[in-house]
Structure 1
């Protein structure tokens, strides 16, 4: 009888987790840098404290800094997790899983931030000085869901291509 080599399934969880955490941090940085700083569409508290004078701008800048400090901490945690994954022989090291995790994390960040900051606490809106805030706020949430679904579809496709049990 001929022995069949045992099929070794590499775990997708560690890399997907690291990618997701990195996606949360990087997604926050993209939001803060593009929407807050470059385009100045809103700032952290701009619906509560308009950034129309020096005091309002200064307060918003401080809270944008707190927001970016959070993003930095999450990104550092994601880098540490990614580094730990690189040392694991039982973890899948696929770039597809990392990409999926990044999309999942970025979408999760945007969805949570959009629901909490835009809808519940009403700290700011996607386009603060628009006549009607809700179309852009809802578009932001919709794009977030698409990003999450895209990440999930990449993971499912990767699972199927490796003949893993369906999750």
Structure 2
């Protein structure tokens, strides 16, 4: 293979990873959109709402499963951001912003189509709206509006529909996608409305009286603690504000154990 041909292979061209970056970012945003809107805001379902096992019907387990799901979306989105950074030189090419937006729309739509086929109809772990007379209607509505329509819009834009931004606006699309991911991730980690129990990781050196002062400041009660005394499960009550815990020594407040536990593993000294 000649040197010129080798330089033009997909693995070495500046924009080779750009489609994957857009698809991963769109896919991750689709998951965050689903989790934040349907799991937390509207509370139409949790990830495992339709799994009829006594252990998994516990609300704490449902919220933990949602947290694991959001962690997966984090990993995929970070991968998309990394590929976007690798493809940064490709934005000198005309139409690169349009292609990135198109791929993000396709990724967003693919998430909802995959979720519909796999989670709703094959595995049956949840439906869009649980407890309604016709769940299939809501499944199909979500599949078409947020799945098929977004993929079609991305495909149309990818094939030349619309116009590309030029000049200084060329970086608007990647900046907007990156900002959306950076905002959606922390929002997804917040406790959903109606769930009063949160996992709290306190800063190293926080004493037991400091923890009790923090719990009292939010009118909460302690449920569980790990042996280090830094990781706690706290019931905030109906009127509790988890954000106030950050004023009283909390490093991280989450609606699931895994993100807090992972951070705790690296921050809490392990016994020799």
TM-score (norm 1): 0.79
- How many residue pairs end up in the alignment? 150
CA–CA distance in 2 between the matches of 1:16 and 1:139?
27
**Unaligned 5+ runs, structure 2:** 1-12, 165-272
Q: Which structure has the greater CA radius of gyration?
A: 2
CA contact (8 A) 1:12 1:97 kept: no
Q: Which residue of 1 aligns with 2:73?
A: 71
CA–CA distance in 2 between the matches of 1:139 and 1:131?
15
**Unaligned 5+ runs, structure 1:** 1-9, 162-167
CA contact (8 A) 2:49 2:57 kept: no
Q: Which runs of 4+ in 1 moved over 4 A?
A: 10-13, 88-93, 158-161
Deviations 1:11-35 (A, max 9, x none): 8653222111100011101110111
Deviations 1:38-75 (A, max 9, x none): 11011011112499xx9521111111111101100000
Higher relative contact order (CA 8 A, sep 6+): 1
CA–CA distance in 2 between the matches of 1:46 and 1:33?
15
Structure whose residues are more often helix by fraction: 1
Is it true that 1:95 corresponds to 2:97 in the alignment?
yes
The partner residue of 1:124 within 117, 126, 136 is 126
Instruction: Report which stretch shifted further, 81-90 or 107-116.
Output: 81-90
CA–CA distance in 2 between the matches of 1:12 and 1:159?
20
Structure whose residues are more often strand by fraction: 2
The partner residue of 1:156 within 151, 156, 159 is 159
CA–CA distance in 1 between the matches of 2:162 and 2:34?
30
TM-score (norm 2): 0.50
CA–CA distance in 2 between the matches of 1:89 and 1:96?
10
SS in 1 for 2:23: helix
Q: CA RMSD in A?
A: 2.8
Q: CA deviation at 1:94?
A: 2.4
| Correspondence list, 1:33-112, <5 A | 33-49=36-52, 56-88=58-90, 94-112=96-114
CA contact (8 A) 2:14 2:89 kept: no
